[in-house]
Structure 1
Amino acid sequence: MDKHKDQLLDDLLKEHAKHGAGSDETFLKELDERLAAQEKVVKMPKPQQSPGTRWALGSGIAACLAIGFSVHYFTKTNEEDTIAYHDANLEVLVADAILELPIEAQVRPMAPKPNMAQLASTRSENESALSDVSKPRMYEGEQTAAQTPGNSNRLLGDKPSRSYEEDLSVGGYSDGILRGKDSEKKEKSDSLERKPSAPSGSMAKVLASNVVSPQQIPMPAREVKELSIALDDHVLGYAGKSKRQNTPESSLLGRDANVARSRIAIYPPPHVHPPVVQPNTAGEKYGELTDNKWTAPIDERSSLSTFAVDVDTASYANIRRMIRQGQAIPKDSVRIEEMVNYFDYQYAQPTDEHPFAVHVDSCVSPWDSNNRIVRIGIQGKEIVREQRPATNLVFLLDVSGSMNNANKLPLLKQSMQYLLEELNENDTVSIVVYAGASGLALPATKVDDIGRQKILEKMNSLNAGGPTAGGQGIQLAYKQAQENFKKEGVNRIILATDGDFNVGVSDNASLTKMVKEKAKSGTYISVLGFGSGNINDAMLESITNNGNGNYSYIDTIKEGRKVLLEDMMGTMVTIAKDVKVQVEMNPNNVKAYRLIGYANRMLPPEAFLDKKVDAGEIGAGHTVTALYEIIPADGKPFGTDIDASRYFKKPEVKPNPALKESKEMMFVKLAYKQPDQKIEDESTYFTVPFVDGKSEITTDIQFATSVGLFGMVLRDSENKGNGDLAKVLSLAKSGKGTDGKGQRAEFIQLVEKCIEKE
C-alpha cells in the first residue's frame, strides 16, 4: 500500500509541475482527496475479556496503585508528584483522542481531568496501552531508522491529516502544536517537570488540563493503521506555482515536483515540546510611532514627501498572532506599511535597465469620498533560480531559556528546514548559538547531501537554557561570516530570536552601530522573530533597518514556509540597495496629502540627493507598496483660516510656470544603488509622472486599501474618517480576487474575528 501511495503522490506532483494548471489550493485539495481514497484503516476488534481475566487485571492494577501510594507516603512526595505520575500514564491514552478533535476544540478551554476512579476504569479498558507508557510517543512527522530503513521520504502518522483548506480556515493552528492553559499554570508545570518520579509530567499535565470529560471523548479502540502521507502545512511544504501563471518552472517561483516531494518532514520535532505559555504582551517592546500628518504643498519643501522603502512583514504576522490569541493589540505594534507589504500584488516585471519597475494608480478613498487614494507599487526583478549567486550563511540561533517554548525553538528548527532544502553544494552554512555565552555550534559546512544531513542533526540537537547574550552572539556570527566571506556571492547572517537580549552588548545604539558598520563591508543581517511575551520588536526592527536586512515574524510553520521557502530568494539576493522614494506634489492639483504608514522610515528632502544616506533594500521578486491619501485642490486653503500677518507673511504657492497648467497630480522619483556599490558611489535616479485619470478600480488596489484601513482602525487613527471594521471587511471581500495562497482569505477571517470580539 505504501508503494501505491508513493507512486500516486509522485505522479500527481509531476503532473502538476508539468502542466501548471489551476491554483495551489485546488491542486492540494484534489491531491488530498485522491490520497484519502487510497487510505485504508484496519481496526482490530477489541479483545473479549472473561470475568476472570478482568478480575485478575483489576487486582493487579489495585496492587500497583497500593504500592505506588505506599511509596508516596514513605517518601513524603507531595500531591503534585502523584498527579504528575498518573498524568504520565494518562498521556498516551488521551493524546490520540485530543488530536482527533477539531482544531477549535483542541485550543478551547476544556473540562477538568478525570478523577481517580475514571482513570482506573480507563486503564482497565486499555490494558494494551499501559505497556506503551515507557515508550516514546510518535508524533506526526516522527520516524526512526529502524521503522523506515533506506527511505527518507516515508512518514509515520498516527492520525488522519487535516486538509490544506482546513489549515487555512483555522486561525492560529497551522503548526500542529497543542496549546496549554493560562500562564498562571506555568510555575506549577515547571515544578512538575523537574520531578524525577514523573519524567513526562509537565507535558502530561498540559494534555490532561485540556482533555474533555469521558462523555465528550470516547476512548478510541486500538487500531493498526497504515503509513499515512500528511499533506497539511506543517508536514508537506509544497510551494506550488508562481503567483503569475506564466512564470517558468526554472524561475524564482517555479517548483520542481521532486523538490516538493522532498519537503516531507524528515527530522521530527522533539519527543515532547515545552508547553506553550499563555502570552502576555506586557513585556513586549515596540518603538513609538507617530502617524504622518496632513501636509499642504505650499512651498518647495512642503511639496516633497521622502521615505526609504521597507519590505519587512513582521508587523502583520505579529498582529495576526495577537488577534488569534484574543489579545489587545498595542498601537505601536501596528506598522501599516508592513501589513500592506505582506501580500502579493499583480505588478508587472521591469522591462528596462532598472532592477525594479514602478506602477502608480488611484481610487476614491473608502473612508472619505471627497479624497483620493494613490498607490505606488514597486516590483523587484525576479531572477532565474539556477543563476542565484553562492551564499555564505551564518545561522545565529537564540537557545536561551526564554526560547524554551513550543512556538519558539521547536518552531525555529522546523522552519529552518525549508531554507536548507533550497540551498545547494555552492552554499555554506555555519551555526552560532548564544545563551549565557555564545559559541560556534557548527563551522562552515557545504550544503551537499552529507552536509545538509549534518546541519539538520546539529540543529535538532539544540536545547534552550540560560540568559540571552545576544550581543556576544552577533559579534561571533560576524566573525564567522568574515572568515568564510564570498566575494562574488551573498554573505548574510540570519538571526532567529524572541528578541530578549539581556547580557553583553544589548542596547539598541550599540547593536545598531555594529550592524551598520558590518553592512558596509558586505555582510547583511536578517531577523526572524519568534514567540510572545518578551519580544523586543523595536530592537529587531532597528537591527534590520541598519543592517541591510529583512525583518519577519514567524508564528506558525506555514509562516515559516512562506518566509524561508516562498520568499527566500528575495531575502537572500539583494538587487538594489539604499532605495529612496521622493514624491513631488503638484499644488495646482493637490490641496494636502499624507503618506499612510512608513512613520519611522521618513527622510528629510535633502536625503534624496545625498548619496551617503542609508535607505532600504529590495530583494529579487520583492514588492513594495505605498499608499497616499490626497485632498484634491479646490481653490481654498487647507486647514483653518488664521491671520498672523502683522509679523508673518503668508507663504505663497509658486509652482514652476512651465507646469502651471499641468494635469499631473504628482511626480514620483526614485534613487538606488547596485548591491556592489560603495557608500561614496553615486546613486541611479529615474522618475515616473502620474496623472490621476480616475481609471477603473482593480481588486488589487481595493485589497491594499482595505489592509491600510485595517491598520488605521487598529491604531485608532484620527485620519480613519468613517472607516471601521465593517468597511474593512467589505473592501477586503470585494478585493479578494485571485487568492491561490489563501492569504487574503486568511485576512478576511482575522477581520471577522475582530468584529466578533467587538
Structure 2
Amino acid sequence: MKHEDDLMDALLKEQAKGGADEKLLASIEEALDEKKSGGGGWRRGAPWAAAAAIMIGGWVVYHSQPEEEPVIAYHPTSAPVESRRVMEAPELADAKMQPSVPSEPVVADENPLTGLFVEPATAPPHGAAPQTKGNLDGFAQDEPSSRPLPRIVAPPAGEGQTRRLDDLRGMPGDVGGAGFEPNLALLPPVEERLRSRGSEWFPVPGRSLPKEKLLQGADAEEFSRDNYGQLVDQPWKSPWDDPLSTFSIDVDTASYTNVRRAILEGRAIQPDAVRIEECINYFDYRYEPPSEGNAFAVHTKLATCPWQPEHLLARVAIKGKEIAANARPASNLVFLIDVSGSMQSSDKLPLLKQSMQVLIDSLDERDRVGIVVYAGTEGVVLEPTLLDEAGKSKAAAALTKLESGGSTNGGAGLARAYQMADSHRVDDGVNRVILATDGDFNVGTTGQGQLVELVKKQAAKGVSLSVLGFGTGNLNDAMMEAITNDGNGNYFYVDGQREAERIFLQKLSGTLVTIAKDVKIQVEFNPGKVKAYRLIGYANRVLRNQDFNDDKVDAGDIGAGHTVTAFYEIVPVGVDGPDTGGVDGLRYQQPAERKELVESDDWFTLKLRYKYPEGEKSRLIESPVTGDPVKWEDAGNDFRMASAVALFGMKLRGQVEEVPWDRVAEIARPALADDPEERRAEFFELIKKLD
C-alpha cells in the first residue's frame, strides 16, 4: 500500500506542474493500474482530468466510481472548480485564513458526500492571489473581507437548494433536490491527518446512512461532534442506609432549548443531553417572593405522584427576590465571541450580534462593555467602554465588524477576556465574562481541566462566567457546563431569535445581580414515613453529605428574580418499593444493630445553606415537612407544569419508558391556562411530536 501511495503522490505532483512529461504520467498510471488490477483499481482518463481540475480549484474532495475508490483532498489555488463530484472544506476556503500547504495529498477510503459540486465564490481572475484581508491573524481590523465563501450546491446547477456543509449534517427535510445521495462515512485517520494540518471540517466518524435517514433526521448524532458529559441518575435509596441527600442548585436552562431544537428538527436526542433540572427550571413559576430583608423564599409541597399513584412527589422551590432595574449595581461585562469559520450561519454569529445589540440598548451609563474575539488567535474588538450615548454607538459599530473565519483558540481568548475584566473591575458591582460560541476549543488551552482551573481561579477573584451556546454539530456541551458550574455563572443555549430576546432581556440581565451564592440543599428523610426516595435530575450536581457544611465547597448561585425547582419521588412506608441496592450479608462480621427510630410525623427535613454575594460564611435555613400529601390534581398549575416537565425529561433519559407520552400531555394541559408567553403551549407541541 505504501508503494501505491508513493505512486499516487508522484502522479499528483507531476499533474500539478502543468507541463509534466506525458510519458512519465502514463508510466505512473500504468504502474498504478497494475497494482490495482482486479480489485476495483484506479481508472485512467476522465477521473484524472477531474482530479487535475480539483487541484486547481481548492481543498475539495473528489469522488470517483466505484465507491471503494479513495477520496483525495487537495490544496487551494484561485481558479473556479469545474468538477461536479467535489466538496469544499469550509475553513480552508475561507479567504481570511491561510492554511499551511500540506506536503502530500490526504487519502481516505470512502467518500464523505456524493452528488455535490462547489459553486465558487466571487473568485479573482485566474492566477491572481486570493484576497487575504480580514479581522484576524494580524490583518487590518477596519478592512474586513467582502469575499463570500464558496457554496455547496446540490445538482442540478442552479436548481438545487443551497446549503452550507454544517447545515447538511443531519438536517431534516429537502436539502438537496433530485439526485442528492448523502454518504457521510469518514474514517478517523483522515480526520486526524487533516487536523494535524490545521483543518477541522470533518465530522466525527460514523457509518454511512441512507438518504431517507438523513432527511428524516434519524441517528443525526452520527454526523455530529456534539459532546455531552456522562450523566448517572440518582438511584432509589433507603433512608435507613442513606438518610441524607445533598446537591447544589442549578439555574441553567441550556439543556431544554438544546433538546427543543433537536425535537423540532427531527433529530435523535442523546440521553446525556437531557439534564432534567434544566428542563424544569427553563419555565417560570409563580412562587411567592421572599419577605422584606430576605434574599429568597423557600417553599415545599408534598403531593401524590402523577405517573405512579402509590408514590409521592415532593417539590422544593426557591424564589429569588426581584431587584428593580434602577436599583441594580453597575456592571463590567466582557463578551468573548467565537468568530471561527463555523459561526457564520444565520443561527450563530448573525443571531448573536442582533441579540447583543438588544442587551446593549437595555444597559446604561453605569455599565461598561468590552468585546474580545477568538478564532485562530484572540483579539480586542472593543476596549471596555461606558455605555453612554457615544459608547453605545461605538459598541454598535464594533458589532457590525464581527465576521467569522478560522479555527477555535478559545483558551487564549478566555484568558484575554478575564484579563480585560480584571483590569476594569467594578467594586461592589458585577464583573462578568460572557462567552458566546458554537463549539469546542480545539487550539491552544483545550484541556477541560485547564479551563476549569482558570475559571475557578477567576471566580474566586470575583469575576464570574456565563456561556451562550449556539448551533449544532460542534457543541461541546460538557465543556461549557463544566466551566460555568465552577465559574459562578450560567449556561444558556440560544436556538432562535425569540430565545435570544428572552435570554438577553430577561435571564441574562437577571444574572447580572447575584443575590446568593454557593446555595446547597440537603434533605434528611424519615425512615418511619419514607421507604425509598430518589432525586430527579441534578445528576452532576450531587455533593457529598459532608460538603453541605463545608464553606470551601463551591455550589450554584441565584440571580435576582430566579426560581429553582427540584423534585424527589418518594415511596411511603407500607408500599411495595423498588430495589434500593442492598448487598449480600458479610462473612467476617455481624451486621450492625438497627438504629432506633425516632418517632416523628415529619416526612423529611429540608436544610439550605447559602452565602451573601460578598460573604464567605454560609447561613442555614431549616424546615421540616409534615402533613398529609395533597392530590397532584389539586397541587396547582405550577406543580402540574413542573412535574410534567420532570416526566418529560425522565422519559427522554429512558427512566420511565412504560409511561406514555399522552400522560405527560394530560398532566401539563391545565397549566396552559397560565401561559402569557406561550412557552407552556410550545412544550405541549413538543410532546405531540414525540408521541
TM-score by length of 2: 0.69
Cα deviation 1:280-328 (Å, max 9, x = unaligned): 55311000011100000115xx100000000000000000111111110
1:711-722 counterparts in 2 under 5 A? 711-717=649-655, 720=656, 722=658
Distance in 1 between the 2:461 and 2:311 partners?
A: 46
Q: Aligned pair 1:362/2:302, yes or no?
A: yes
Residue from 697, 707, 716 that aligns with 2:645 = 707
* Deviation, structure 1 residue 380: 0.6
Distance in 1 between the 2:594 and 2:662 partners?
A: 40
Seen in structure 2, the aligned counterparts of structure 1 residues 652 and 315 have a Cα distance that, compared at 3 Å, is: farther
Residue from 666, 669, 673 that aligns with 1:737 = 673
* Deviation, structure 1 residue 199: 7.4
Seen in structure 2, the aligned counterparts of structure 1 residues 594 and 352 have a Cα distance that, compared at 3 Å, is: farther
Q: Aligned pair 1:294/2:222, yes or no?
A: no
1:453-492 counterparts in 2 under 5 A? 453-492=393-432
1:136-535 counterparts in 2 under 5 A? 188=117, 191-193=119-121, 195=123, 209-210=160-161, 282-299=224-241, 302-351=242-291, 353-535=293-475
* Deviation, structure 1 residue 572: 1.1
Name the structure 2 match of 1:554: 494
Cα deviation 1:113-153 (Å, max 9, x = unaligned): xxxxxxxxxxxxxxxxxxxxxxxxxxxxxxxxxxxxxxxxx
**Alignment length, in residue pairs?**
501
2:342 alignment partner AA? S
* Deviation, structure 1 residue 645: 6.5
Q: Aligned pair 1:582/2:526, yes or no?
A: no
Residue from 653, 675, 686 that aligns with 2:621 = 686
**Runs (5+) with no aligned partner, structure 2:** 1-51, 58-111, 126-145, 163-216
Distance in 1 between the 2:266 and 2:307 partners?
A: 27
Name the structure 1 match of 2:602: 664
Distance in 2 between the 1:318 and 1:579 partners?
A: 25
* Deviation, structure 1 residue 368: 1.4
2:611 alignment partner AA? K
SS at match of 2:431: strand
Distance in 2 between the 1:616 and 1:682 partners?
A: 15
- Check whether the contact 1:361–1:692 (CA below 8 A) recurs between aligned residues: no
1:284 alignment partner AA? D
Cα deviation 1:607-631 (Å, max 9, x = unaligned): 0011110000000001100010000
* Deviation, structure 1 residue 405: 1.6
Name the structure 2 match of 1:631: 571
- Check whether the contact 1:368–1:721 (CA below 8 A) recurs between aligned residues: no
* Deviation, structure 1 residue 210: 4.5
Name the structure 1 match of 2:194: none
Query: Which has the bigger relative contact order, CA under 8 A and spacing at least 6?
Result: 1
1:716 alignment partner AA? G
Mean alpha-carbon deviation: is it higher for 497-506 or for 193-202?
193-202
SS at match of 1:735: helix
Distance in 2 between the 1:306 and 1:564 partners?
A: 32
Distance in 2 between the 1:442 and 1:286 partners?
A: 33
Distance in 1 between the 2:596 and 2:117 partners?
A: 70
| Identity fraction in percent | 45
SS at match of 2:160: helix
Seen in structure 2, the aligned counterparts of structure 1 residues 521 and 655 have a Cα distance that, compared at 3 Å, is: farther
Seen in structure 2, the aligned counterparts of structure 1 residues 209 and 601 have a Cα distance that, compared at 3 Å, is: same
* Deviation, structure 1 residue 364: 1.7
Distance in 1 between the 2:376 and 2:114 partners?
A: 26
* Deviation, structure 1 residue 694: 2.0
Q: Aligned pair 1:749/2:685, yes or no?
A: yes
Q: Greater share of helix residues, 1 or 2?
A: 1
1:562 alignment partner AA? R
Seen in structure 2, the aligned counterparts of structure 1 residues 406 and 635 have a Cα distance that, compared at 3 Å, is: closer
SS at match of 1:371: strand
Distance in 2 between the 1:185 and 1:457 partners?
A: 42
Seen in structure 2, the aligned counterparts of structure 1 residues 428 and 293 have a Cα distance that, compared at 3 Å, is: same
Distance in 1 between the 2:298 and 2:554 partners?
A: 21
1:722 alignment partner AA? E
Residue from 609, 625, 641 that aligns with 2:549 = 609
Name the structure 2 match of 1:673: 611
* Deviation, structure 1 residue 366: 2.2
- Check whether the contact 2:236–2:578 (CA below 8 A) recurs between aligned residues: no
1:291 alignment partner AA? D
1:589 alignment partner AA? K
Distance in 1 between the 2:377 and 2:116 partners?
A: 26
**Runs (5+) with no aligned partner, structure 1:** 1-75, 82-182, 212-277
* Deviation, structure 1 residue 334: 0.5
Cα deviation 1:343-379 (Å, max 9, x = unaligned): 0111000015431111111222222111011111100
SS at match of 1:411: helix
TM-score by length of 1: 0.63
SS at match of 2:673: coil
1:436 alignment partner AA? G
SS at match of 1:284: coil
2:563 alignment partner AA? T
* Deviation, structure 1 residue 702: 1.1
SS at match of 2:557: strand
Seen in structure 2, the aligned counterparts of structure 1 residues 647 and 482 have a Cα distance that, compared at 3 Å, is: same
Name the structure 1 match of 2:7: none
